[in-house]
């Protein structure tokens, strides 16, 4: 039996954060009913057409779900949604601020009607406060949370290449829902919970927050280097390829000097005999390291680092990652069906010894509408009558 088998999740979702949370639940066996607008569906379906004509975001976030297409401007559609929610264990929504209340499905009303229900709202800034109604996209939350200020080079603040604010909010929603399900198992009662993207990403900003708040200075933007540890980051080899390495402690620093750059006396040099001194004198130390590395290929440097048991990596492209030998050796890829045929997907990262994750097809817009309505006991005549509204 799958861990969440028998749990029904209704998700009035769009874009990234809520679909990311609900897909994690679907991976563990929950039945996830994704409520979409008619015809176009979740607007993330239209972000691009790179996956055989489908959006890369949508393919990533929406396998193993049932698509129920509802025009929630229609009173009949609201009645259908009410019936679906009444039979659900979890309700998730990440509509625009205030939209869920205007539709008549506020968390407070739902809790009063369905005491067993776990209600999760995901938003940019939370349900109250001066920023509540402010539009929130991933880049903007990265800016507001200070993440962009500590990412990039000295001259160019940068966002990350992934939607980290959305992903952080989705992960906290997922773990919060699991916590609420465990609590309900003990108490029999549901709960209202909310996750804001700002607060989720704020948790990830812990180190720079304490560094700045108590240290009095902001962490410097250092590109792929580390603001407070050295040597840590990219170094160019003689074949013009980058090798990344990280020294974590004084023992590794001694090994680096002895076995990698082969200058053992440097380990006790008063300019470099502690991490703080190495950070302070990093420009001088970079020159010394580069003088050695420019005589070696990237493979030779990595061999020396491996021998010295010092953490290292090559700079992979995304395609390099797709073809990573470790993923291949661990059989981390699986085919998932979709409206455009089979698509390769990564198996979820938590590996159980006795549980296989669900990796069912990606749905078409409204693919399961009739099936769900019939299950709810809505008669065929009503379904036909409402098709123009619902599908």
Is 324 labeled as catalytic in the residue annotation? no
Which segments of 107-263 does DSSP mark as H helices, in order?
Answer: 107-113, 138-144, 164-187, 197-204, 206-215, 250-255
Q: In the chain, what is the straight-line distance between the N-terminal and C-terminal CA atoms, in Å?
A: 33
Position of tokens 């304490």?
A: 210
Inter-helix orientation angle 17-27/164-187, to 10°: 50
φ, ψ at 133 (rounded to 5°):
-90, 5
Checking DSSP bridges between strand 65-69 and strand 242-246, what pairing results, if any? Answer: unpaired
d(CA 136, CA 121): 14
d(CA 329, CA 92): 37
Neighbours of 87 (CB within 10 A): 12
Point out the catalytic residue in the list 226, 290, 324, 368: 226
Report the SS3 class of residue 5: coil
d(CA 89, CA 140): 32
Neighbours of 96 (CB within 10 A): 13
- Active site positions, annotated: 226
């Amino acid at each position: 039996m799958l861990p969440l088998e028998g749990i029904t999740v209704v998700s009035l979702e769009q874009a990234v954060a809520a679909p990311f949370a609900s897909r994690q639940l679907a991976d563990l066996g929950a039945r996830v009913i994704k409520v979409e607008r008619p015809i176009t569906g979740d607007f993330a379906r239209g972000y691009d057409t790179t996956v055989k004509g489908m959006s890369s975001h949508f393919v990533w976030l929406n396998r193993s779900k049932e698509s129920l297409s509802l025009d929630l401007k229609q009173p009949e559609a609201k009645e259908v949604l009410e019936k679906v929610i009444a039979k659900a264990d979890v309700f998730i929504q990440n509509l625009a601020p205030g939209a869920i209340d205007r539709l008549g499905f506020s968390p407070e009303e739902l809790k009063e009607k369905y005491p067993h229900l776990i209600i999760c709202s995901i938003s940019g800034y939370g349900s109250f406060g001066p920023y509540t109604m402010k539009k929130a996209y991933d880049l903007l939350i990265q800016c507001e949370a200070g993440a962009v200020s500590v990412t990039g080079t000295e001259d160019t603040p940068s966002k990350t290449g992934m939607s980290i604010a959305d992903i952080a909010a989705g992960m906290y929603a997922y773990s919060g829902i699991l916590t609420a399900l465990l609590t309900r198992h003990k108490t029999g009662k549901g709960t209202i919970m909310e996750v804001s993207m700002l607060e989720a990403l704020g948790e990830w900003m812990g180190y720079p927050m304490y560094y700045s708040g108590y240290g009095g200075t902001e962490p410097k933007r250092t590109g792929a280097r580390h603001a407070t540890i050295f040597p840590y980051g990219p170094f160019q080899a003689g074949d013009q390829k980058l090798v990344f390495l990280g020294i974590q402690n004084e023992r590794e620093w001694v090994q680096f000097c002895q076995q990698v750059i082969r200058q053992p006396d440097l380990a006790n040099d008063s300019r470099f005999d502690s991490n703080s001194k190495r950070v302070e004198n990093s420009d001088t130390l970079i020159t010394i390291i580069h003088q050695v590395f420019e005589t070696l290929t990237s493979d030779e440097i990595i061999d020396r680092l491996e021998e010295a048991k010092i953490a290292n990596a090559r700079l992979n492209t995304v395609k390099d990652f797709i073809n990573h030998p470790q993923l291949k050796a661990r059989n981390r890829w699986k085919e998932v069906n979709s409206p455009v045929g089979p698509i390769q997907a990564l198996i979820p990262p938590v590996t159980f010894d006795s549980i296989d994750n669900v990796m069912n097809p990606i749905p078409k817009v409204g693919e399961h509408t009739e099936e769900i309505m019939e299950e709810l006991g809505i008669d065929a005549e009503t379904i036909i009558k409402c098709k123009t509204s619902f599908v």
